[in-house]
Amino acid sequence: MIASLVALALQTAATSNSAPAPTPAGEEPVAPYAESDANAGAAPFRGDAMWRAFGAAAGVHAIVDDLVARNTADPRITDIFRNRDLVRLRRTLFEQFCYILNGGCHYSGQTMAQSHKDMGIQQADMAALVENLQAAMRGQHVPMAAQNRLLAKLAPMHRPIVAR
């Protein structure tokens, strides 16, 4: 019994003192930060209805890919995305949406304030991004009620993102 407790304590200590996770393939390294699902900016929905409404993993991946493509092509906001790590952006957006939609994912990205620091994002930029997200969700035939529920979860995130 004592040997089991010691082994568990050593395993826990080794896990908490382990080196940061390696940078995923194709992504640029970032400075270390505290990873937490709380960094996603919103609590997840209950149940799996929202996850299903968004088409599960395949649907959310398609929405994220479409959203990133729209944002990088949109002349109103394309400069925000220039010289950014779009591989990391796609991965962390998928994780964020998956976590919030209760798809069983963990969010490994930074807080909204950290990830948007010094980007100079204005309210008009956020409006353009939301329009692009709505178009991406429509493209995947997400029901309007489900779109509105997700947008309501995301809306408070403008506070730490928009520059004053």
Known binding-site positions for heme: 116
- Residues comprising the binding site? 116
Nearest to 60 by CA among 88, 96, 27: 96
Nearest to 99 by CA among 164, 50, 58, 152: 50
The answer to whether residues 37 and 99 touch, using CB atoms and an 8 Å cutoff, is yes
CA 126/CA 129 separation, integer angstroms: 5
- Coil, strand, or helix at residue 45? coil
Nearest to 87 by CA among 37, 22, 25: 25
